[in-house]
Amino acid sequence: MSSSVILPDDIREYHDPPEQVQEKIEQLMELIRNSKHMVIFTGAGVSTSAGIQDFRGYLTLAKQGIKSTLSDFTKIRPTIEHVAIYKLFEAGYLKHLISQNTDGFHLRSGIPITSISELHGNINIEKCPKCERSYWRKHDVRDYEIEVKGTHERIRHTTSRQCVYCHCNLRDTVVNCFDRTEGPHLFPLETAQDHLKLCDLYIILGSSLTVYPANYFSKYINCQQKPVVIVNLQKTSADDIASIRIFTEIKDVLIRLCEGFQLNINSGITDLETDLNFKEMIIMPYAIRKLDCIKEKTEYLKKKSETELMMFLTERRIAYEPPADAKIRKDHLVATVIRHCRKTVYWV
């Protein structure tokens, strides 16, 4: 099943009067207080303040005959919108996040890999098709080298790296136009659907709901007689079923929600890409818990027993072959732990 897009007839922006916006935000806060499984869905509008073009911007340029250029997501930082969403998660209000964005900002801002369904993939993640391990890198993993006739650029899914465990060629996880929703792309969709079954409040931020199948999620929630809330400057196909419809900037709504719930969003913007404590994440299939980097210095690791050192490797599912010489086994174990665990976060 490939993603299909229905172009909107009306790409104009609309703005509610300030007093209406405030009234609607207060209504939304009451829904959030009473919710037990709130799910947020984000579209491109959440990332526009970071300088990334949304669908409306693309169409506007196209109508003017201006060719759109791709942003380098890895050179742009998450925004206050991403921080606010993370704060709602951290405080326990948000139970799961569904996103069509491939920029990776939600993960970079702190949302755990187990609490997000990135329907169209993540430019920082490449995956092994054999063992299904995923690797989160501090750069765009996609390969742009292959060109198609004319001016269109084709992105090859196979990257230039191999899985360190089974040595298969890794593949990026980004869903391009006309890609089939299968393999690495299917699991996020299934996870999203599982959370939608539990959802009692569905909030849509920054999406005109033009891409299938995500544009049908709101209809499912409505059929379950649960509230749907939409915050978007453009009209959407689900406006008629929204319990609360807010035409205003997403940032304004999220900031006021955090202020209303007394959540501090002024402590700085978290960005994993600028975190010097680690260089990558390795994500196992169906991961449920996080194992942080081993921070002990080498001299402290040498004081640990071989059993303790093996535990570091075993719980991260790292295969270990001991050296033939038993005398150097301890030093070899320490070196292996440092090589695999010093700068790498694992999700298992």
pLDDT tens-place string over residues 190-199: 999 999 999 9
Question: In percent, how much of the chain has pLDDT > 90?
Answer: 66
Q: Largest Cα–Cα distance of the chain, in whole Å?
A: 76
> Could you tell me the pLDDT band of residue 11, with boundaries at 50, 70 and 90?
confident
For residue 58, the model assigns a pLDDT of 45
Lowest-pLDDT range, 132-146, 147-161, 268-282? 147-161
Q: Which of 96, 106, 120, 340 is catalytic?
A: 120
- The average pLDDT across 111-120 equals 95
Domain regions of the chain by residue span: 18-274, 289-347
> Could you tell me the pLDDT band of residue 249, with boundaries at 50, 70 and 90?
very high
Question: In percent, how much of the chain has pLDDT > 70?
Answer: 83
120 or 69, greater pLDDT? 120
**What crossing angle do the helices spanning 18-34 and 250-260 adopt, rounded to 10°?**
50
Locate 93 and state its tokens.
């209000």
Backbone angles phi, psi at 157, to 5 degrees: -70, -30
Statement: residue 328 has pLDDT above 50: yes
**What crossing angle do the helices spanning 306-315 and 329-341 adopt, rounded to 10°?**
30
- The average pLDDT across 159-177 equals 88
Cα 336 to Cα 208, 318, 329: the distances in Å are 49, 10, 10
For residue 50, the model assigns a pLDDT of 66
- The average pLDDT across 261-290 equals 88
For residue 9, the model assigns a pLDDT of 55
Statement: residue 63 has pLDDT above 50: no
Pair 283, 136: CB distance under 8 Å:
yes
Residue 166 counted as an annotated binding residue: yes
Pair 134, 346: CB distance under 8 Å:
no
- Does residue 120 have an active-site annotation? yes
For residue 47, the model assigns a pLDDT of 86
For residue 151, the model assigns a pLDDT of 44
For residue 230, the model assigns a pLDDT of 98
Statement: residue 316 has pLDDT above 50: yes
| CATH 3.40.50.300 fits domain 18-274 | no
Backbone angles phi, psi at 155, to 5 degrees: -100, 120
- The average pLDDT across 99-122 equals 94
For residue 144, the model assigns a pLDDT of 64
> Could you tell me the pLDDT band of residue 267, with boundaries at 50, 70 and 90?
confident
Residue 163 counted as an annotated binding residue: yes
pTM: 0.86
Pair 133, 284: CB distance under 8 Å:
yes
Kindly report whether the peptide bond that precedes residue 213 is cis, defined as omega within 30 degrees of 0. Answer: yes
Residue 131 counted as an annotated binding residue: yes
- The average pLDDT across 213-231 equals 95
> Could you tell me the pLDDT band of residue 10, with boundaries at 50, 70 and 90?
low
Helix segments in the chain, DSSP class H: 18-34, 55-63, 80-90, 105-108, 186-198, 217-223, 250-260, 298-302, 306-315, 329-341
